[in-house]
Amino acid sequence: MNQIAILSIEDEPEVREAIRRDLRPFEKQFRIEVSEDISDAREAIAQIEQDGDRIGLVLADHRLPGETGVDFLTKLHADGSHYPVRKVLLTGQADQQDTIRAINEGGLHHYIAKPWEPETLVTIVRDELTEYVLRSEDIDAMPYVAILDGPRLLEKISHGSRID
Amino acid sequence: MHAIKRLATGKNLSLLLALVAFLIPFFLEIPGLSEAGHRLLSIFLLAVILWVSEAIPLFATSASVILLLVLFLSDVAGQLSWAWGMAAFPEGMTAPAYTTFFNTLASKVLILFLGGFFLAFGAARFGVDKNLAAIMLKPFGTKPSRVLLGLMLITGVLSMWMSNTATTATIMAVVLPIIATLAPDDKFRVGLALGVPFAANIGGMGTPIGTPPNAIVLGALSKIDPATGETIGQCSFLQWMIFAIPIALLLMAFAWVLIVFMFPASKKAIEIDMNVKWAKSTHATIYYVTAIFTILMWVTGALHGINSYVVGMFPVVILLSTGVVSAKQFRGLEWDVLWLVAGGIALGVGVSATGFDTWLVGLIAWDSMSRVVIGIAICGTALLMSTFISNSAATNLLAPIAVAVAGAAGASAIIILAFVALGASMAMALPISTPPNAIAYSAGTFTTKQMVLTGTLIGAAGVLICFLLLRPLLHIAGVS
């Protein structure tokens, strides 16, 4: 269906639920996937791509069973095919080293410290998704005007050429 | 099974349909229509289906139309003895040179439009559109109905010079934050979101470069009348403004009253936070001077004798030579719009070169109809068609027919063509009617039903206004 997906990776069930709840405003227009760990997340990405959808935003915890969130983001960043994907760390446990690595090697776009305010999360997700839509040349910004940052998206629409 | 399903999607079906429609006239014998006319009918049917369905992009259809005209109806066909070869033309008519069709890609109206693109490009780049909006909005105060009037007038004025689409996007970016400050049940949210696209559609009528339909009918007007050896009509930039702006203003006033009446504000005052910040770089200054100079040259054509098409080349030359528009930006202009318009003009050339027009209008006894009825009918047809398909595509299809109808009914070509162009711009009843409507709809503050109701009333009022005023206004403008 060509939807943009938000992928959240979080191992604790209660926190997963909180994220799911906070992302509800985006449900109508975006596909939301919540994974427990990195291998689960990889499967989700494969599934998303198989369905013809695309991954627009990763919201990753750092400390997870198995591979860490920063490892995952770094690999995602190195894989050029996911270039415009927005990457956000949502964690309380990343030390300075991890964070530096996430920024330098993972192309991190935003860091949210746990615990978070729901409004903050919504604002950041909205901004990052707006950025994703603006940077993806083949995406029509119009369906997202109401749900993302409308004025910024309209700027893109006014420069694109639709014919009167 | 999946593959079959995928192939049977709407687009592929439309393509197949277009191909079939194209082939049909080759196997039919229509009495009174020459062989060349049959071929033209083929191309026309293909164009109708492709422009309506948008199975391929609008400009791709235009390019196809031009190529098909060259292959089937120009002197090139005569060299294809191994294929379909030359068609028989009606008596006294010969196949046009293939360059006739290629040349439509550099028609004078395209140059005029290109000049408009350069002005619009600079307006967006240096923020002139937003600055003008901020300045012009100030005197309207904070009363909601006045703010709406101000927004609509600014949108209209800007869209006379920029594309309706870009204008709507620019002004909606200002309007969205205002809407966000209104209570969820405030009807004025609807009013604001409807007023802007309506004003942009209406404003596009105002100048020859306001919207592609205007350019298409001006292109059709430059057809040479074989009887006199002159073009079938003349209309300068200023003359267009003289007859079109009063109609646009009246319709805008109607739209405003309608919206204020139907969607009154519950808030007493609306604050708009817009800063005026003029860019002061050398490039910006060059642009300001060029824009003012060009517009002045356009409206004073009668004084200096340089026609608007030639003036259209001035901003192109100035802004390119001074580097205000870079190579990359030059490449990024809306060339697709120009090609779309060219396709319509080429189709018009084909229609008259094959005698297809004479045959088509010969099907109806026009003498028995009053010219007024004809005008209304054609205006209504343009309105109806462009409610569902692109305004430009509708005009591309209707303009050649309008020219023929005018000839058969003994009416002046410009009045019938003006009915077509204005009618196309009045179509705003659905979110899909025009890109401005679609943009406003995407903001999610009004329902389709609300747009249908208001848009239909505005369209009807528009036809009525044209019916009453177009002829006297053309007379005042001195257009023949």
A145 contacts B443? CB cut-off 8 A: yes
Which residues of chain A make contact with B444, given a CB cutoff of 8 A?
145-147
- What is the ipTM, given to two decimal places? 0.79
Assign B23 a pLDDT band (cuts: 50, 70, 90): very high
The pLDDT value recorded for residue A161 is 55
Closest chain B residue to A152 measured between Cα atoms? Answer: B173
Q: Is the pLDDT of residue A65 over 60?
A: yes
**B281, burial (CB in 10 Å: exposed 0-12, middle 13-18, buried 19+):** exposed
Assign A1 a pLDDT band (cuts: 50, 70, 90): low
Q: Which of A101-105, B3-7, B277-281, B433-437 has the lowest mean pLDDT?
A: B3-7
Average pLDDT of every residue of chain B: 91
Distance CA B193, CA B279 (A): 29
A151 contacts B212? CB cut-off 8 A: no
DSSP 8-state assignment for residue A63: S
Using CB atoms, pick whichever of A152, A157, A159 lies closest to residue B439: A157
The pLDDT value recorded for residue B50 is 93
Q: Mean pLDDT across the stretch A57-61?
A: 93
Q: Which of A91-95, B166-170, B286-290 has the lowest mean pLDDT?
A: A91-95
The pLDDT value recorded for residue A87 is 94
Average pLDDT of every residue of chain A: 89
Q: Mean pLDDT across the stretch B135-161?
A: 94
The angle subtended at Cα A78 by Cα A73 and Cα A83, nearest 5°, is 85
Assign B90 a pLDDT band (cuts: 50, 70, 90): confident
The pLDDT value recorded for residue B344 is 92
Q: Is the pLDDT of residue B88 over 90?
A: no
DSSP 8-state assignment for residue B430: S
Using CB atoms, pick whichever of B173, B176, B334 lies closest to residue A161: B334
Q: Is the pLDDT of residue B365 over 80?
A: no
Q: Mean pLDDT across the stretch B32-40?
A: 91
Q: Mean pLDDT across the stretch B269-298?
A: 92
Distances, alpha carbon B464 to alpha carbons B204, B387, B461, in Å: 18, 17, 5
> Could you give the domains of chain A?
4-159 (3.40.50.2300)
Distance CA B389, CA B385 (A): 6
B442 to chain A, closest Cα gap in Å: 6
Closest chain A residue to B202 measured between Cα atoms? Answer: A164
Q: Mean pLDDT across the stretch B294-321?
A: 94
Q: Mean pLDDT across the stretch B101-119?
A: 94
A164 contacts B434? CB cut-off 8 A: yes
The pLDDT value recorded for residue B245 is 97
Q: Mean pLDDT across the stretch B346-373?
A: 84
**Mind listing the pLDDT tens digit for each residue in A111-141?**
998 889 999 999 999 999 999 999 988 888 8
A67 to chain B, closest Cα gap in Å: 38
Percent pLDDT > 90 in chain B is 71
**Mind listing the pLDDT tens digit for each residue in B215-237?**
999 999 988 777 787 888 889 99
Using CB atoms, pick whichever of B124, B169, B392 lies closest to residue A163: B392
A142 contacts B439? CB cut-off 8 A: yes
**Mind listing the pLDDT tens digit for each residue in A22-37?**
999 999 999 999 999 9
Closest chain A residue to B435 measured between Cα atoms? Answer: A164
B334 contacts A164? CB cut-off 8 A: no
Q: Mean pLDDT across the stretch B354-379?
A: 83
Using CB atoms, pick whichever of B177, B213, B435 lies closest to residue A162: B435
DSSP-derived pairing of the beta strands A54-60 and A30-35: unpaired
Half-sphere exposure of B319 (CA within 13 A, CB side): 31
Q: Mean pLDDT across the stretch B5-32?
A: 85
Distance CA A85, CA A132 (A): 7
Q: Is the pLDDT of residue B97 over 50?
A: yes
A164 contacts B165? CB cut-off 8 A: yes
Give the bridge partners for A137, in sequence order.
Answer: none
Closest chain B residue to A156 measured between Cα atoms? Answer: B169
The pLDDT value recorded for residue B1 is 43
Q: Mean pLDDT across the stretch A137-150?
A: 89
What pTM was estimated for this model as a whole? 0.88
Greater confidence (B298 vs A160) lies with B298
A151 contacts B435? CB cut-off 8 A: no
Which residues of chain B make contact with A150, given a CB cutoff of 8 A?
172-173, 176, 443
The pLDDT value recorded for residue B231 is 86
Chain A residues with CB-CB distance to B under 8 A? 142-147, 150-152, 154-155, 157-159, 161-164
Distance CA B251, CA B264 (A): 19
- For B398-410, letters b (16+ CB in 10 Å) and e give bbbbbbbbbbbbe
**Cis upstream peptide for A25 (omega within 30°):** no
Q: Give the residue extent of every domain in chain B.
A: 1-103, 109-338+415-477
Closest chain A residue to B205 measured between Cα atoms? Answer: A164
Assign B361 a pLDDT band (cuts: 50, 70, 90): confident
Q: Mean pLDDT across the stretch B430-438?
A: 92
The pLDDT value recorded for residue B225 is 79
B166 contacts A158? CB cut-off 8 A: yes
Which residues of chain B make contact with A25, given a CB cutoff of 8 A?
none
Assign B7 a pLDDT band (cuts: 50, 70, 90): low
B269 to chain A, closest Cα gap in Å: 22
Q: Is the pLDDT of residue B276 over 50?
A: yes
DSSP 8-state assignment for residue B364: S
Percent pLDDT > 70 in chain A is 96
Using CB atoms, pick whichever of A143, A152, A161 lies closest to residue B336: A161
Mutation choice for A interface testing from B176, B328, B331, B334 by most A CBs within 10 A: B176
Assign A162 a pLDDT band (cuts: 50, 70, 90): low
